Amino acid sequence: MLISPALAKAFNEQIGHEIGASLQYVAIAAHFSQHHLTLLSKLFMDQADEERQHSQKFIKYLLDTKGGLRIPAIAAPKPTFKSAEEAVEAALKWEKEVTRQITALMDMAVKESDYLAQSFLQWFIDEQLEEVVKVDRLLSVIKQSGEKNLLMVEAYLVHIEKAG
């Protein structure tokens, strides 16, 4: 086994968090879809797919290191939101929580001198900076636009995609 039982347990828990995030992002995408905000809905469906891919990276790592796969129960996502701002605030809160979780995993890997796990987790740490910044900017644009001007947010997303 190339991973300690404690770190393997924590990685299994993170798989649950990543799958839970994927489901939460589907619920956020549904909120925007119900309001005919196609690009916002697509953005969060893409994010749901990305979170699922993150869980698969942890699964592969556990299988490769013979850490054992024990996916925990997944909590149900918050199903509805009162506003676009509330939905994106939930996403930002989640990304900050995931950042805390990944950092805690890195702390464990460092404490155990597990260089394989540290190398694996560094990608997630870099990814979290990108995710927090992206969602924080989106929340700022939504707050500036207001609930009645969400089509402007859709236009912003088109602009960002063209600039990228």
Distance CA 103, CA 116 (A): 15
Number of domains in the chain: 1
Q: Is the pLDDT of residue 13 over 90?
A: yes
Domain span at residue 86?
5-163
Residue 33 belongs to domain with CATH number: 1.20.1260.10
Task: Give the burial string for 76-101 (b: 16+ CB within 10 Å, else e).
Answer: ebeeebeebbebbbbbbebbeebbeb
User: pTM to 2 decimals?
Assistant: 0.94
Q: How many residues does the chain have?
A: 164
- What pLDDT score does 18 carry? 97
What is the per-residue pLDDT across 71-106, written as a single tens digit (0 to 9) for each? Answer: 999 999 999 999 999 999 999 999 999 999 999 999
Alpha-carbon distances, residue 70 vs 29, 30, 66, 100, 155 (angstroms): 28, 29, 12, 22, 43
What is the per-residue pLDDT across 120-160, written as a single tens digit (0 to 9) for each? Answer: 999 999 999 999 999 999 999 999 999 999 999 999 999 88
Report residue 1's pLDDT band, with 50, 70 and 90 as the boundaries.
confident
